[in-house]
């Protein structure tokens, strides 16, 4: 069947129809033939005879790991270097990240664990910084490495969710009052116990 197929490739359903066998039986047979190197899986559900220039199918997650061994990459770079679609890359990145196989180094940049410190969103960085005590916005900027805009945006959300309180106001001089933020007392103990 594969010799007469266009480009010497055929799908599982085409092979099953020509051979007159059930789809599941054909799929099992093709998987075992691929394992014994009698045929090559060239795409999802598509097989070909082994020949020079025929490259076997590499799942998106494996292709991403292979690319990231050379260094961090953006999703666009991963698409270009793996020849996978945006949706395949997005799905594989999500799966790999959830299973701690990769880390987000910064928005839109991925790498292997240990190659760079992982990206932490401002909200989580603020909560971590406030565990050691109350801090003003300039102190949070220094402690988290985030810019003032990101800090204020996260502070507003945390305050709206009652995950943060204004601990006290300080008077830094002629510029007026400045708020210091802290975790509510019950939040500190609950988070440490968890």
Q: Give me the CATH number covering residue 107.
A: 1.10.10.10
Task: Please say whether the beta carbons of 51 and 8 come within 8 A.
Answer: yes
Domain co-membership, 147 together with 88: no
Domain that holds residue 176: 122-193
pLDDT above 90 (res 143) = no
Angle of helix 23-35 relative to helix 12-19, nearest 10 degrees, comes to 110
Domain count along the chain:
3
Clarify whether residues 153 and 173 are in a common domain.
yes
Per-residue pLDDT reduced to its tens digit, 5-38? 555 678 888 888 888 899 899 889 988 988 888 8
Same domain (yes/no): 128, 189: yes
Confidence category of residue 176, pLDDT binned at 50, 70, 90: low
Q: Which residue has the tokens 């240990």?
A: 114
Does residue 83 or residue 55 have the better pLDDT?
A: 83
For residue 52, what are the CA distances in angstroms to 5, 64, 143?
17, 24, 56
Provide the token pair at 143.
Answer: 């402690």
Q: Is the pTM higher than 0.75? A: no
Q: Please compute the mean of the pLDDT values over residues 177-189 and round it to a whole number.
A: 70
In a domain, 189, yes or no: yes
């Amino acid at each position: 069947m594969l010799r007469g197929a266009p480009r010497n490739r055929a799908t599982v359903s085409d092979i099953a129809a020509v051979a007159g066998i059930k789809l599941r039986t054909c799929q099992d047979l093709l998987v075992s033939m691929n394992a014994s190197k009698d045929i090559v899986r060239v795409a999802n559900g598509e097989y070909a005879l082994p020949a020079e220039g025929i490259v076997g199918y590499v799942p998106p997650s494996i292709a991403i790991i292979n690319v990231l061994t050379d260094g961090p990459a953006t999703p666009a770079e991963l698409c270009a270097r793996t020849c996978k679609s945006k949706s395949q890359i997005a799905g594989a990145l999500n799966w790999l990240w959830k299973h701690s196989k990769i880390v987000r180094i910064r928005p839109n940049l991925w790498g292997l664990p240990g190659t760079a410190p992982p990206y932490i969103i401002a909200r989580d960085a603020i909560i971590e910084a406030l565990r050691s005590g109350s801090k003003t916005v300039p102190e949070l900027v220094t402690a988290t490495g985030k810019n003032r805009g990101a800090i204020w945006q996260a502070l507003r959300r945390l305050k709206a969710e009652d995950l943060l309180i204004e601990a006290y106001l300080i008077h830094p001089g002629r510029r007026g009052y400045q708020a210091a933020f802290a975790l509510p007392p019950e939040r500190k103990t609950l988070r440490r116990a968890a």
